[in-house]
């Protein structure tokens, strides 16, 4: 009796589910949802022409580019965005020597919490310290950039597209969506999720940063460099992982061939 009741209950819910699905599909076909301004004008993020040097299974970071990106971060982005998961000594991996790291760290005041007194004091940064929090005086809370390349779909391509994607709102937007006027204090960027972003355009003109290596600092170049740097902060072991992966795959392939040959040898005189 219980088995029959269970079968009937299961059949009832299955029929109800199929009916609900069929009704929803029919409604979608007969009355498709109206397009939204985001669905029409949001663009897929694309990276710089030629891509990044670290892309692909054999990709490697360009240390000169990472240093340029760090310069863009410190001179432009660091005003609002922190880098709390990166220690000053980590900069050794992108080509800075100990003296340079000490000089960079000394420019920062690092907060130090005293658990006994509850006081917060600051000291001059040293190599072992992490980049300190940023005190932002504006509205909102700018995100920390340490892991931003992993936290956003598209990673460095998204960062590059966002930085180079600021533009006036196209006139046809308001013709098609009269209620899509940009709210006060926001900016139009088709690569941002809802098209309107609070962050003003950070890289606005060529020469905003004077590169030490003589590279021409166009908006596109600066955007690509800081995007590469933020990819490194999010994936500092990317190169080592790529270098380790191929030997591991080679070993597994060799082990598979060896196992197959052993199998053929052991069972060669056996009949099924």
Q: Is the pLDDT of residue 135 over 90?
A: no
How does the average pLDDT of the chain come out, rounded? Answer: 88
CATH code of the domain in which 195 resides: 1.10.760.10
Instruction: Report the alpha-carbon distance of residue 225 to residue 48 in Å, rounded.
Output: 10
Q: Which of 186-195, 198-207, 233-242 has the lowest mean pLDDT?
A: 233-242
**Domain extent at residue 175:** 37-86+131-241
- Residue at 182 is within a domain: yes
Instruction: Report the alpha-carbon distance of residue 34 to residue 42 in Å, rounded.
Output: 16
Binning pLDDT at 50, 70 and 90, where does residue 270 land?
low
Taking residues 15-44, what's their average pLDDT?
76
- For residue 61, CA distances in Å to 2, 56, 113, 244 come to 65, 11, 36, 16
- pTM given for the model: 0.82
- Answer whether 48's CB lies under 8 Å from 76's CB: no
- Residue at 149 is within a domain: yes
According to DSSP, the residues that pair with 187 across neighbouring strands are 197
Domain count for the chain, please give it: 1
- Residue at 9 is within a domain: no
- As a whole-number percent, the residues of the chain with pLDDT over 90 amount to 63
- Residue 271, pLDDT score: 58
Taking residues 204-213, what's their average pLDDT?
95
Binning pLDDT at 50, 70 and 90, where does residue 29 land?
low
- Residue at 162 is within a domain: yes
- Residue at 191 is within a domain: yes
- Residue at 150 is within a domain: yes
Taking residues 132-155, what's their average pLDDT?
90
């Amino acid at each position: 009796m219980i088995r029959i009741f269970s079968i009937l209950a299961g059949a009832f819910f299955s029929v109800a589910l199929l009916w609900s699905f069929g009704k929803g599909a029919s409604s979608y076909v007969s009355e498709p949802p109206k397009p939204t301004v985001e669905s029409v004008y949001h663009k897929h993020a694309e990276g710089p022409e030629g891509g990044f040097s670290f892309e692909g299974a054999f990709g490697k970071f360009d240390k000169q580019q990472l240093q340029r990106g760090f310069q863009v971060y410190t001179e432009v982005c660091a005003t609002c965005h922190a880098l709390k998961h990166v220690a000053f000594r980590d900069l050794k991996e992108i080509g800075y020597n100990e003296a340079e790291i000490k000089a960079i760290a000394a420019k920062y005041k690092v907060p130090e919490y005293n658990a006994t007194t509850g006081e917060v004091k600051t000291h001059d940064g040293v190599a072992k310290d992490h980049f300190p929090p940023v005190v932002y005086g504006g509205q909102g809370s700018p995100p920390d950039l340490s892991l931003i390349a992993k936290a956003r779909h598209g990673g460095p391509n998204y960062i590059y597209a966002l930085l180079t994607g600021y533009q006036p709102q196209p006139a046809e937007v308001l013709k098609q969506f009269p209620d899509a006027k940009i709210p006060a204090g926001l900016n139009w960027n088709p690569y941002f999720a809802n098209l309107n972003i609070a962050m003003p355009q950070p890289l606005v003109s060529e020469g905003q940063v004077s590169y030490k290596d003589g590279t021409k600092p166009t908006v596109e170049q600066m955007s690509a460099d800081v995007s590469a740097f933020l990819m490194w902060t999010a994936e500092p072991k990317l190169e080592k992982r790529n270098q380790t992966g191929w030997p591991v795959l080679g070993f597994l392939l060799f082990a598979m061939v060896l196992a197959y040959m052993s199998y053929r040898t052991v069972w060669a005189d056996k009949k099924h």
